[in-house]
Structure 1
């Protein structure tokens, strides 16, 4: 981090521009994270609802849908973890 501080400008206008760019990037990342969390929650709710219905006439169809949704949820969580651990 000290290496990063060495390359910072002393110009207040440049520093303000850098801060504004970082704030915009932070807002984009927060929006993406919020959308991801909403999708994960929606998938979990759908899975729970289908699991409650799994004992009816079309339980095989529901079980297949549950399995597909669980895979989609797992893919989302893995992608989020990889993105979080990335550069």
Structure 2
């Protein structure tokens, strides 16, 4: 493990490593849940924009996935952007 960390951080400045370490400490001290909620909101907004663009296309569509129970949030939620499948509808000649 020590060799992995050593080789994985080669070329990354010490200052950048310290900033990331402090950021991770702050996230862990706060429970860590806020970072996931913030990331989910950003990705959800981006996905809605992409979905709006793709909905006008005749070649591309997005598979509808119904909401399901989320074990992380302990409630029923719509799928995350990574769970959507992009379906290519290519015309057959």
Report TM bin, short chain. Answer: 0.3 to 0.5
TM-score (norm 1): 0.34
Q: Specify the structure having the higher radius of gyration (Cα).
A: 1
- TM-score, with structure 2 as normaliser: 0.33
Q: Which has the higher strand share?
A: 2
Bigger fraction of residues in helix: 1
